[in-house]
Structure 1
């Protein structure tokens, strides 16, 4: 049975993001959508980023849209990704101990004055 999109509570935005990587040449991209509690489309995005791992593409998608959500005035954000590895890396971040610099940047964004929830990890990232 396919996953069903569940809207966030009023006052929250939900980010759904996905990364992809070509098995042929290693090129990668990310994309996704930001929606409100009514399912209203706020912003869609996609970007080709060259050669990298699919996990890194997921992380770039998360960071890019977190920046956008913050800039739009969002202060309560739910982030959904199908990459449990990317989400685990963000949650278990230790300074200087991760293979991707982008994880450090995502943690900096998380430390702003807002609430970020990663439901697949069943956790709230707090400052």
Structure 2
């Protein structure tokens, strides 16, 4: 569940996936892994990842601690590619688009789905997320 936008908040690509019954931490790591792979496959080489989970941002901004779960090891491997990736924490109020995509992924019961255009009604959410600040 992620949206890639330009500096003006315009939609570039988004995605959603039904992940299953995992902890919120694992769901966030899955979304970040999918997002990184999607960004790489769309030739993005300078990426800022915003997460509303401060624990996730903290883990990804720290060095590896050796015994990490598989998904975190996969993320760290991808971060070694030739690109620049920055992880930042943002408040939950700025994630209405991502929350709506997560709901789509859950209710549509689909696997990984790339969205090259925002679903109906998402333009309003995008505008609101860009206008609000924490």
From 48, 58, 63, the equivalent of 2:33 is 63
Q: Which residue of 2 aligns with 1:114?
A: 83
TM score, norm. by length of structure 2: 0.61
Aligned equivalents of 1:47, 1:91: Cα separation in 2: 25
1:49 aligns with 2:31: no
Aligned equivalents of 2:89, 2:19: Cα separation in 1: 25
Aligned equivalents of 2:83, 2:3: Cα separation in 1: 19
User: Structure 2: which 5+ residue stretches go unaligned?
Assistant: 91-134
* Superposed displacement of residue 93, structure 1: 4.3
The structure, 1 or 2, with the larger RCO (C-alpha pairs under 8 Å, 6+ apart) is 2
Number of positions where the alignment pairs a residue of Structure 1 with one of Structure 2? 90
Aligned equivalents of 1:61, 1:41: Cα separation in 2: 17
Aligned equivalents of 1:106, 1:67: Cα separation in 2: 9
TM score, norm. by length of structure 1: 0.64
1:87 aligns with 2:61: no
Q: Which residue of 2 aligns with 1:102?
A: 71
- Counting strand residues as a fraction of each chain, which structure ranks higher? 1
User: Structure 1: which 5+ residue stretches go unaligned?
Assistant: 1-30, 122-127
SS of the residue corresponding to residue 62 of structure 1 reads helix
